[in-house]
Structure 1
Amino acid sequence: MNWIDNFVRPKIRSFLSNKRETPENLWVKDPESGEMVFYRDLEANQWVVPNSGYHMKIKPADRLATFFDEGKYDLVPVPAVPVDPLKFRDQKRYTDRLKESRAKTGYDDSVIVATGKLYDRDTTVAVQDFDFIGGSLGMAAGQGIITGLETAVTRKTPFVLFVASGGARMQEGIFSLMQMPRTTVAVLRLREAGLPFFVVFTDPTTGGVTASYAMLGDVHLAEPGARIGFAGARIIEQTIREKLPKGFQRSEYLHEHGMVDMVVHRHNLRSTIGSLAGILTRAEPTAELTGTAPALPAVSLRDAAIAAEGDDGDLAAPSAAHAE
């Protein structure tokens, strides 16, 4: 017997039954320092933790809105590709995984292509969404990259790629691996057109994506602390039976060893790419390039990254969802 339903008056009953909903993500924990940060403060700061400078994952819509002039852009439709050509099933059907990811992210696949203005210059941008099956590379993602490159050639614009991926999508087998040469050919066409290709590495970028179009840019930029590599550090250590250097596969380490041209704070990516695009296209500046990053803490981001525990996680094949 429920005494509220049976004995309490209707008005009081309705008051008791209407529970106040509290957002689950009101506070977000900094993965490095453990600090609790207010959700709206993080959102206003482009998902960079104010005190530690830790760069958290950012949704494609937020990325595009903060990158283009006045947050205005147009999405480019990506041609449809066959769904589940291998009729693959592991713990669940591949088609079910796709449905879940589409419901979760609101996108058809892991690559979103958009066009807009960057300091009054036409620019084509592609963003890889790690929330969509780990940003893995399948036929639809490969077609998205190719569509972005072809759009840049057609519109004669620079092409900017924000990449985040765990590797090739195992559920598509050889069809997934074939996207590596396909995207490489599309990059060559962009290069033949004399248009710049900017790659921005975000956390994490691994596997077949790193082995293909992600390493073919004219300029390679990376966000601070991003993990970049082919195989996971743990797998490499087990193979060579040696302990890897601290900070191995972090963006700062790769910058020191010549694989990344610049490590750029998220707040400065827009102005940095805008300046470089103007130089490489020999265009006259049409808008003032502004934007500075907030002061960093006393401990550098590199020191914080290499001091963090669990720096040797294997991201090339984190789960059955995607692997090389």
Structure 2
Amino acid sequence: MVKARKYVVKRHFEGVPKRDDFDIVESELPPIQNGEILVKTEWVSVDPYLRAYNTRFPVPYDQFSYQVGLVEDSKDPRYPVGSRIVSHKGWCDYSIINANVSNSSADIVYKLPDLKGLSNSLGVGAVGMPGATAYFGFLEICQPKAGETVVVTGAAGAVGSLVGQIAKIKGCRVIGFAGSDDKVNWLENELGFDRAFNYKTVDVQKVLKEAAPKGIDCYFDNVGGEISSIIINQMNDLGRISVCGSISTYNDDLSKLPKATILQVAIVMKQLKIEGFLVPRWRDRWPEAFADLSKWIKSGSLKTREHITEGFENIVDAFVGMLNGDNTGKAVVKI
């Protein structure tokens, strides 16, 4: 018998998630049946969408998220013992998975891509869901052209840091906004952003006019709020905006969200395209993204950085820290 632990959300978050919003539940897993695999979790991902989706499910529910795990027992020939898989089983140390049974689009199970010697943790980062989010959300929606100016908010996070680098690979000029001077230095000095700014200490409207005197062609929006209104009002004609998230409001009361400057005048007069997306839209094409992302990482044109927390018992701290912007790059937990 295998003893397993998992985090169960026992009440919906109010404001910042707290440790006592969760129970850690222990159980003995039964022997696996035909078609099932026993997976030992190695890496767990903490991402903003876990906060955004919290109220969509009745409590209690098992805390989902992407994870990389090692197959320790198998009755599914596609996933032999010793292979590694990516699933959405979330914050647990062991799980039993039947890849033939899917109750929702989130029941994803696939073999970890061949990372060619890179850390397996990239399977929940740059060569996982966040990588696919950056790749398709930017390239498919913004359709950038060489020489265009791209702005990214949340630019030092898991997705934003990749979007900016993909934009550079495609020959664009890139401006990023992040929440600390250290992050700004990382974006400019290591990732090759043309300009980066600490949105907490600058006049966003003023620095944008100086950094992008000819306007903005593409905007990848991770944060929402007033900063997005300012950026959208400085877009060029036929500009494209990809809306990935709104992390600036995830901990706010949904009935009392902050007001932001109206956008309709800019949208109409500049004929802007604004499109929100969820990355499962391109699920069948994820391997295409992973092939390009892996190639870019190996060639050195795409740099990855991880903010690693160790220990099953520290997942909540890692989650809250990520929401607070403590991480530079992808926040992951080593189990």
**Greater helix proportion:** 1
TM-score (norm 1): 0.29
Larger Rg: 1
TM-score by length of 2: 0.28
